[in-house]
């Protein structure tokens, strides 16, 4: 009877003595048929539970390196820490390296320190620039798997990407915008935090393509490089509104929505439709107040769980799985808001 389990483990699972299990496994006789079936069942049970057996006592140290506004990193931390109990019997510990903005060399130094110090895995949200590509390659050379979060780095040595299909998200925003604006006149402001984040570029491309196809007469006005921070976003939005008196709607790809709405209010301008991304603390409040039309959201807890599972698979602690599928895009309005994390 072939099996990969020690006799002691099978005996414990079956509730039999090791001597009895040994007789069954080696066909020595002297045991009842029902006892032999109990041994067979114990092996089958252990085989189904093999994943948990491999995880018992395993500790995985994961480094989270995220460049994003604090409202988003707070949501990411809460999502991961909420999911940690579901990863038992493995123990996952995390080190957080969060920054709102800053020079690329500072980011790559963080990644290189992790490569030197060691880690079971890195979950990374970073700009898609050559310096980051090279740093990810150094992590891979050090045997550290990298999983990209929310925004992908497809030309790097990263192991997998977790997050939504960003082009589809942009096209969804265009669909909502077209439905809600209808035949009313007005231009649409698209706002990116930075042109170096692939997810924002893909959302903008999906939005622009769908708008061009279905609403070719609607003018799109783009602003970028506000970093998703209210302090810089306000000036960019206000300047755009002053230049273009026909802006009546917003697709916020990169955040800074409190500042965007304040710029509209300070100029006495209405915002007929406002579609944003992510249910962080700011957007949750704005949506409840009906100041946003909808938020395109994805389950960060699911993303964190999947990212941790990918790291575990890379170390052979979980069985192989198929390709990682994109997270579901949720259209959240004031009337279907999910339960907050934590």
Tokens of 60: 């995985």
Q: What pLDDT is recorded for position 270? A: 95
244, 238 Cβ separation under 8 angstroms:
no
Give me the phi and psi of 293, to 5 degrees please.
-80, -45
What is the pLDDT at residue 53? 55
Task: Show the beta-strand stretches assigned E in the chain.
Answer: 59-67, 91-99, 121-125, 146-149, 160-162, 187-191, 220-223, 247-252, 273-277, 294-297, 330-332
Q: What is the pLDDT of residue 48?
A: 67
SS3 101: coil
200-239 confidence digits (pLDDT tens): 999 999 999 999 999 999 999 999 988 888 889 999 999 9
Is residue 327 helix, strand or coil? strand
Q: Residue 342: its pLDDT value, please? A: 45
Per the structure block, which two tokens stand in for 161?
């990407």
Which three-class secondary structure state does DSSP give residue 1? coil
Cβ proximity of 57 and 281 under 8 Å: no
The residue among 294, 176, 276, 181 whose CA lies nearest residue 233 is 276
Alpha-carbon gap, residue 15 to 17, rounded angstroms: 7
CB 309, CB 162: distance < 8 Å: no
> Quick one: tokens of 95?
């080190």
Angle (deg, nearest 10), helices 70-83 and 300-314: 60
Which of 255, 337, 323, 241 minimizes the C-alpha distance to 289? 337
Which pLDDT value is given to residue 340?
61
Predicted local distance difference test score (pLDDT) of residue 341: 47
Q: How big is the CA angle at 341 (ends 335 and 342), to the nearest 5 degrees?
A: 135
Grouped pLDDT means (10 residues each) for the chain, 342 residues: 76 86 87 89 75 67 92 90 84 87 94 93 96 97 97 95 97 97 96 90 97 96 89 94 97 95 97 95 94 96 95 89 92 88 46
């Amino acid at each position: 009877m072939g099996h990969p389990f020690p006799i002691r483990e099978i005996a414990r699972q079956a509730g039999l003595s090791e001597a009895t299990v040994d007789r069954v496994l080696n066909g020595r006789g002297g045991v009842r048929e029902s006892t032999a079936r109990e041994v067979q069942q114990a092996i089958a049970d252990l085989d189904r539970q093999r994943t948990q057996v491999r995880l018992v006592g395993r500790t995985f140290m994961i480094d989270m390196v995220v460049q994003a506004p604090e409202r988003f990193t707070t949501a990411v931390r809460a999502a991961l820490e909420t999911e940690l109990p579901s990863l038992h019997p493995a123990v996952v510990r995390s080190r957080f390296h969060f920054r709102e903005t800053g020079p690329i060399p500072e980011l790559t130094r963080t990644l290189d320190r992790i490569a030197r110090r060691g880690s079971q895995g890195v979950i990374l949200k970073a700009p898609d620039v050559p310096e980051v590509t090279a740093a990810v390659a150094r992590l891979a050379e050090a045997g550290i798997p990298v999983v990209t979060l929310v925004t992908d780095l497809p030309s790097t040595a990263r192991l997998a990407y977790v997050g939504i299909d960003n082009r589809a998200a942009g096209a969804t925003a265009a669909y909502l915008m077209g439905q809600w604006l209808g035949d009313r006149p007005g231009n649409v402001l698209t706002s990116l935090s930075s042109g170096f984040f692939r997810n924002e570029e893909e959302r903008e491309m999906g939005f622009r393509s769908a708008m061009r196809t279905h609403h070719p007469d609607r003018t799109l006005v783009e602003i970028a490089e506000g970093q998703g921070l209210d302090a810089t976003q306000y000036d960019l939005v206000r300047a755009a509104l002053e230049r273009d008196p026909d802006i009546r709607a917003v697709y916020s790809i990169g955040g800074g929505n409190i500042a965007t709405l304040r710029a509209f209010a300070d100029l006495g301008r209405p915002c007929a439709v406002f579609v944003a991304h992510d249910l962080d603390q700011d957007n949750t409040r704005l949506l409840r107040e009906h100041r946003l039309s909808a938020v395109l959201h994805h389950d960060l807890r699911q993303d964190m769980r999947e990212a941790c599972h990918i790291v575990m698979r890379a170390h052979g602690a979980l069985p192989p799985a198929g390709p990682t599928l994109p997270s579901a895009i949720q259209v959240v309005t004031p009337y279907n808001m999910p339960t907050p994390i934590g």
